Amino acid sequence: MRQYISTRGEAPALGFCDVMLTGLARDGGLYVPEIWPQLSPEIIGGFFGRPYWEVAVDVIRPFAGDEISDADLGRMANEAYATFRHPAVVPLDQTGPNQFLLELFHGPTLAFKDVAMQLLSRLMDHVLAKRAQRTTIVVATSGDTGGAAVDAFAGRDNVDLIVLFPHGRISDVQRRMMTTAGASNVHAIAIEGTFDDCQAIVKELFNDHTFRDAVALSGVNSINWARIVAQVVYYFTSAVALGAPARSVDFTVPTGNFGDIFAGFVAKRMGLPIRWLRIASNVNDILPRTLKTGIYETREVHASTSPSMDIQVSSNFERLLFEASGRDAAMVRRLMASLKQSGRFVLPAAVLAAVRSEFEAGRADETETSAVIRTAWREAGDLVDPHTAVALAVADRDTPDSKLPNIVLSTAHAAKFPDAVEAACGVRPELPSWLEGLMTRPERVQVMKNDTVEVARFVRSVSRAAKEGTAG
Ligand SMILES: Cc1ncc(COP(=O)(O)O)c(C=O)c1O
Ligand SMILES: N[C@@H](CCOP(=O)(O)O)C(=O)O
């Protein structure tokens, strides 16, 4: 059985299915595989031209071990990616000499989160049904994870889903994707705070062991290893389309919680020849500052036109610290304790050097972001969303004469952020026809204080109602 260990070294090692249902490790850390699976150049090269779901099975299989049969994994991957509206699932476009855009937004909620969430919901449901278990998922979102989770888990028999989002800090389209589902197992809560507050509440709930056991708590943020694994797949498909493994590639990734770019790091560990993983941040630039100074220091969050990246505490950076330190769990515990106490920590020099050897980082401010949206429209007739625009701005500035292909991850559809896109280029992107009605359906949402106790009370009531069979 493939084993997973916690970045903080004090939680039990678990198998794939338990890690998937557990979310955060019981010591507050994040799970990573004990050993990185390797894919040979022949296997990687063999991905060329194959259907996306088949590659997904080959990439995910070594992580799931024998816990999920190939037949079940294949069926679920096939179903998950059949929900995407593009035949290639995640098409790759050339946008300039050696510049490519990987479109990850053709799923049901128009953001890259669908790629993992559509599969994760099927995997979780499958395992829960087999074990005759029910779970309560609490998820924090800065806008996109929540909508993807709602679409993927609405109406599932074995799950209650509670979504926490920062009140007034996401786009109307994002909010409505969470508040208009109409499913009795879905609950949207607007927290009077930031995304970091929402994520801190989720982690506090997990760290209260009595509570987490009482409600059978699970998480589907990228703290959940299965989320990361599903995101690894498109690094392989896109790089192979451009000549990997014979040719190396770079990736530029709009980054907030560091889950997406960490998936690229995993692909590299598995054998994909990636040269640079380039972090692209908006004005909330904690990661570029950290790479420059070696000091990870939280500051006030600024609301931007790329709200899903308005994040200071970048959860998956912990996984990178664990790897870059040679898996020094004691160091990770020390840095995380410092973060909790003082909002900052200093990377040891060797860890910083290890990070800098594989990652670059840049930021784009609001003016640069809107200039990119305007140029893309005027010069190519393309409408790009502000998160993608942040990455394009960083890529254009930092890779003008790269000899290697640079793949920019396009993480959302422009129609999720119509106000920002229209303000930048004068054109209002339209929602696709299958989302007709989204903007007029009635909303169901509760506003709550930034208060873990209040949220915990609500989660308990949802869990109790489910147990008593009174949900809805
Ligand atoms: C559209 C979009 N782009 C980029 C990101 C950043 O991704 P990550 O949090 O995995 O770094 C997010 C949020 O996660 C997002 O919703
Ligand atoms: N940007 C995300 C924040 C949560 O990230 P996750 O990958 O940890 O779920 C969002 O849109 O919610």
**Predicted local distance difference test score (pLDDT) of residue 35:** 97
**Predicted local distance difference test score (pLDDT) of residue 397:** 86
Average pLDDT over residues 31-53: 98
Q: Tens digits of per-residue pLDDT, 437-452? A: 999 999 999 999 999 9
Ligand 2 centroid from CA 59, angstroms: 22
Is the pLDDT at 400 greater than 80, yes or no?
A: no
Token couple for 223: 């703290």
Is the pLDDT at 471 greater than 80, yes or no?
A: no
Q: Tens digits of per-residue pLDDT, 354-365? A: 999 999 999 999
Run of H or E including 201:
helix 195-207
Taking the C-alpha atoms of residue 211 and residue 221, their distance in angstroms, rounded to an integer, is 19
**Predicted local distance difference test score (pLDDT) of residue 283:** 98
Ligand 1, residues 286, 290, 308, 313: which to mutate, most atoms within 8 A of Cβ? 308
Pocket flag, ligand 1, residue 111 (CB < 6 Å): yes
pLDDT band at 341 (very low <50, low <70, confident <90, very high): very high
Pocket flag, ligand 1, residue 411 (CB < 6 Å): yes
Average pLDDT over residues 156-180: 97
**Predicted local distance difference test score (pLDDT) of residue 25:** 98
Sequence-distant (6+) residues with CB within 8 A of 247 are 273, 404, 405
Closest atom of ligand 1 relative to the 231 alpha carbon: 10
Is the pLDDT at 151 greater than 50, yes or no?
A: yes
CA distances 35 to 62, 266, 321, 384, Å, are 10, 11, 16, 38
* CB of 194 closer than 8 Å to CB of 143: no
- Taken in order 288, 293, 294, 297, the sign of the CA dihedral is negative
Average pLDDT over residues 76-105: 97
Ligand 1 centroid from CA 61, angstroms: 25
pLDDT band at 472 (very low <50, low <70, confident <90, very high): very low
Neighbours of 352 (CB within 10 A): 18
Run of H or E including 290:
helix 286-293
Pocket flag, ligand 1, residue 107 (CB < 6 Å): no
**Predicted local distance difference test score (pLDDT) of residue 1:** 78
Is the pLDDT at 77 greater than 60, yes or no?
A: yes
Q: Which residues line ligand 2 (CB under 6 A)?
A: 141-146, 221-222, 256-257, 259, 308, 315
Sequence-distant (6+) residues with CB within 8 A of 346 are 294, 295, 296, 338
Q: Which domains are delineated in the chain?
A: 92-111+225-425 (3.40.50.1100), 134-221+442-472 (3.40.50.1100)
What ipTM was estimated for this complex?
0.99
Closest atom of ligand 1 relative to the 387 alpha carbon: 3
Ligand 2 centroid from CA 295, angstroms: 23
**Predicted local distance difference test score (pLDDT) of residue 237:** 98
Shortest-distance Cα residue to atom 13 of ligand 1: 308
Is the pLDDT at 470 greater than 70, yes or no?
A: no
Q: Quick one: which ligand is closest to 165's CA?
A: 2
Ligand 2, residues 114, 197, 228, 257: which to mutate, most atoms within 8 A of Cβ? 257
> Has 113 been annotated as catalytic?
yes
Q: Quick one: which ligand is closest to 177's CA?
A: 2
Pocket flag, ligand 1, residue 260 (CB < 6 Å): yes
Average pLDDT over residues 88-103: 96
- Strand (E) positions, 58-185? 92-96, 99-103, 135-140, 159-166
Ligand 2 centroid from CA 309, angstroms: 8
Ligand 1, residues 277, 309, 316: which to mutate, most atoms within 8 A of Cβ? 309
Q: Tens digits of per-residue pLDDT, 296-309? A: 999 999 999 999 99
Taking the C-alpha atoms of residue 440 and residue 438, their distance in angstroms, rounded to an integer, is 6
What is the percentage of the chain residues whose pLDDT exceeds 90? 96
Taking the C-alpha atoms of residue 411 and residue 144, their distance in angstroms, rounded to an integer, is 10
Ligand 1 centroid from CA 71, angstroms: 31
Shortest-distance Cα residue to atom 7 of ligand 2: 222
Mean residue pLDDT across the chain: 97
Is the pLDDT at 399 greater than 80, yes or no?
A: no
Residue tagged active-site, from 113, 203, 268, 416: 113
Ligand 1 centroid from CA 240, angstroms: 23
Taking the C-alpha atoms of residue 459 and residue 462, their distance in angstroms, rounded to an integer, is 5
Ligand 1, residues 222, 411, 417, 421: which to mutate, most atoms within 8 A of Cβ? 411
Taking the C-alpha atoms of residue 29 and residue 166, their distance in angstroms, rounded to an integer, is 24
Sequence-distant (6+) residues with CB within 8 A of 396 are 99, 372
Is the pLDDT at 419 greater than 60, yes or no?
A: yes
